[in-house]
Structure 1
Amino acid sequence: MYNWEGISEFVAVADTGSFTAAADKLGVSTAHVSRQVSKLEQRLAVKLLYRTTRKVSLSEDGRSFFQQCRTLLEGLEDAERALSERQGMLRGKLRLTAPVTLGERAIAPLVNQFLAEHPELEITLRLTNQPLDLVEGGYDLAIRLGKLESSSMMARKLAPRIPYVCASPDYLARCGVPNTLAELEQHNCLLGTLDYWRFQVEGRERVVRVRGNLSCNSGHALLDAALQGLGIVQLPDYYVENALAQGRLVSLLAQYRIPDEGIWALYPNNRQLSPKVRQLLDHFAKAFENKLI
């Protein structure tokens, strides 16, 4: 029988370009990955990887061996996946990342529900506003907001994301209602991490610089400031839709509102989706569609 020892570790390093990332992907220590790859090289009497303090790269023999090993491992995973599907079980590890606020408000509760339904899974959820590299970090899935940059990732739209400009009735009674983009200069605009807002004018995007006495990287904090009548805010619909429906905020400049930018799920396109990732995606999509967030 062939000795598979070190194969999974070698393929993970080649896939991620890093021993540390490979260890995270496999759920083991970096030392274990390094040890297993070294044993594999000794057993084959071939140098598979070149290591420096900054980079890991494949040798010529390593590239050839990697392609064949990855095909074999994918075949094995496909066989296990088919068996699990027939048995109706989901097991194994899942790694995903999402933006902080949306992650806390919607994604984490949905992940918890999914885990309760499939207790054999081990899920790692990292909330960050930094766009992480899915392949290098060993992530199965990433939730992204707004316009997507061109990439090799596959994308599935989960829900709309429409930014609203709004203010409280109290603020508008004191300071007036802006009817044009130019009139924003006369108002106190509550800022996020950027000093401009985006609009659409005659079918083309337009950026408008805005100013105000509050700047904060928290959408919830900006929403609270707007509700207290401190100024005008631009926030996505999922922050403000309840306050708008209750009349606590008033929508402004709707004629200049940019179109739906979307909430997206991204995943690597180099292989077929596993049942656990596909079912988690379906779980997200159903919840967003039915407004269960």
Structure 2
Amino acid sequence: MQWQGISEFVAVAETKSFTLAAKQLSISTAQVSRQINQLESRLSVKLFYRTTRKVSLTDIGKSYYQQCRAILDALNTAEQTVTNLHHTPQGQLKLSAPIAYGESHLAPLINDFCLLYPELTVELWLTNRTVDLTDEKVDLSIRLGSLIDSTMMAKKLRDRNLFLCASPDYLAKYSTPQTLAELKRHNCLLGSLDHWRFQNRKLTVHGSLKCNNGYALLDAALKGIGIVQLPDYYVQPYLQSGELIALLPSHQPKDEGIWAIYPHNRHLPSKVRLLLDYLDQYLMQR
């Protein structure tokens, strides 16, 4: 009796809709409503304010939701622990990553991971927006650079370096900048921001091309259009071949992290733990 209506109550509290809760639980809206009514009757309290347009928790409902959510999380953790001990990874694994980095580095590794664990269904979303892991039910997200404070767990997979560089043809024509101040006289190829980052400062720069795609900026730099600042995984081969020249190395910013972000869970599902270990091992080689 004490368990009846708990799942329905939590689903309504989180979706703020009886209809959406029913869809999430794969039952009828009438069944959700009936379970909530019985739960309120058993507890002798009102858990929700209901109008034709809105469903919201009462103060008592908010307190009860926190307790019920913790109970369901503990139950899920217990079930995942048992599953991890006795089964190979299976089910759906959903992750997200920035577009360019995902295309060049992550997607090939994910394809290899799929070959290792064919019982998994992997859903990889490449997007440059910040994904809400909880709302969008994402198991793991790859983030680049500095992290904002959150309740999520974070694991650094590797470092990335930003390089300022230009082609030999561009430098022969317009000279090689020796100071940050001299960059204001050069054609600076910009991404989505209007500044570049250096060791101790940000510098606003200007140029004839702005594009939110690193490969497009790389192509422009290789063709001698201007100077570019890009992460190592774009430019390293061209720096080694001499097609690009690194500039102002003494001002190069500190290394940044490439991170795996995932929800806090004392017992990670085996599919997430295995993917984390796999990426940790193989991203270091790229």
Following superposition, the deviation at residue 159 of structure 1 comes to 1.1
Residues 53, 213 of structure 1: alpha-carbon distance in 2 compared, 3 angstrom cutoff: farther
Following superposition, the deviation at residue 196 of structure 1 comes to 1.0
Alignment partner, residue 263 of structure 2 = 268
Alignment partner, residue 206 of structure 1 = 201
Q: Deviations over 1:10-39 (max 9, x none)?
A: 43554x55559x87xxxx946947725334
- Alpha-carbon distance in structure 2 between the residues aligned to 1:262 and 1:8: 39
Residues 38, 126 of structure 1: alpha-carbon distance in 2 compared, 3 angstrom cutoff: farther
Q: Percent identity between the aligned chains?
A: 52
Counterpart check, 1:38 vs 2:33: yes
Alignment partner, residue 225 of structure 1 = 220
Is the Cα–Cα contact under 8 Å of residues 17 and 55 in structure 1 kept in the other structure? Answer: no
Residues 222, 8 of structure 1: alpha-carbon distance in 2 compared, 3 angstrom cutoff: farther
Following superposition, the deviation at residue 146 of structure 1 comes to 0.8
- State the AA in 1 paired with 2:247: L
Q: Deviations over 1:89-141 (max 9, x none)?
A: 11233222211111222222322322332232233322211112222222222
- State the AA in 1 paired with 2:234: Y
Is the Cα–Cα contact under 8 Å of residues 19 and 33 in structure 1 kept in the other structure? Answer: no
Following superposition, the deviation at residue 253 of structure 1 comes to 0.9
Structure 2: runs of 5+ lacking an equivalent: none
Following superposition, the deviation at residue 230 of structure 1 comes to 0.9
Following superposition, the deviation at residue 250 of structure 1 comes to 0.9
Residues 52, 12 of structure 1: alpha-carbon distance in 2 compared, 3 angstrom cutoff: same
Correspondence 1:110-189 to 2 at 5 A: 110-189=109-188
Is the Cα–Cα contact under 8 Å of residues 161 and 262 in structure 1 kept in the other structure? Answer: yes
Following superposition, the deviation at residue 70 of structure 1 comes to 3.4
Q: Quick check: which has more Rg, 1 or 2?
A: 2
Q: Deviations over 1:43-62 (max 9, x none)?
A: 42455444679875433454
User: Secondary structure of the equivalent of 1:214?
Assistant: coil
- Alpha-carbon distance in structure 1 between the residues aligned to 2:64 and 2:81: 26
- Alpha-carbon distance in structure 2 between the residues aligned to 1:189 and 1:53: 56
What's the C-alpha RMSD, in Å, of the aligned pairs? 2.9
Alignment partner, residue 58 of structure 1 = 57
User: Secondary structure of the equivalent of 2:88?
Assistant: coil
| Normalised TM-score (structure 1) | 0.83
Alignment partner, residue 73 of structure 2 = 74
- Alpha-carbon distance in structure 2 between the residues aligned to 1:132 and 1:7: 28
Alignment partner, residue 104 of structure 2 = 105
- State the AA in 2 paired with 1:110: L
Alignment partner, residue 243 of structure 1 = 238
User: Secondary structure of the equivalent of 1:273?
Assistant: coil
| Normalised TM-score (structure 2) | 0.84
Is the Cα–Cα contact under 8 Å of residues 40 and 47 in structure 2 kept in the other structure? Answer: no
Residues 285, 177 of structure 1: alpha-carbon distance in 2 compared, 3 angstrom cutoff: same
User: Secondary structure of the equivalent of 1:137?
Assistant: coil
Following superposition, the deviation at residue 289 of structure 1 comes to 1.5
Count, aligned residues: 280
Pairing partner for 2:283 from 269, 281, 288 = 288
